[in-house]
Amino acid sequence: MNLETGSCHHCGAFVGDSPYRLVLQGFSDDHTLALCRSCQSLRQGGQLPVDLLIQQWVFAQTAPESAEEATLGVLVRLECLGCGAALTRTDLPVKSGAVPDARRLPDGSLTTECAACQRTNLVARRGPQMVAVRLW
């Protein structure tokens, strides 16, 4: 995504007033990838995996042979797919868990309700971290 042009990171369409984004946190800086409403709708339905968005970003930033190494240092900020609000709580003790009111499903994924919009997000593991993968 190019913040200057207002284009969608995934499809290149004009973002307009879309509030949706994917925030990648690196060791030295953060990267915000804007998403149009159409691509966010695909994410909400589980049809546009976060891994694909990260791969697109990595290949645009680095040489293909170093792409896997570049993804190791990137964390995806855990945000609601419905409204973009944070799903984690930093005021909770680590032992109690950072995702409030999460319920574990048999496949290891979690469901959690967003405090801001009350929509239920399905959160699954992506490597060593958890990311919102679709709305329930």
Residues 71 and 83 in one domain: no
Residues 67 and 111 in one domain: no
Backbone phi, then psi, for 24, in 5-degree steps?
-105, 125
Is 49 within 8 Å of 124 (Cβ atoms)?
no
Over 60: is that where the pLDDT of 119 sits? yes
Chain segment 26-66, per-residue pLDDT in tens: 878 888 999 999 999 999 999 999 989 988 888 887 665 55
- Taking the C-alpha atoms of residue 6 and residue 16, their distance in angstroms, rounded to an integer, is 7
Residues 73 and 94 in one domain: no
Domain span holding position 84: 79-136
Residues 66 and 109 in one domain: no
Chain segment 69-98, per-residue pLDDT in tens: 666 677 888 999 999 998 875 444 444 445
Residues 105 and 65 in one domain: no
pLDDT of residue 64: 56
Residues 6 and 67 in one domain: yes
Residues 101 and 42 in one domain: no
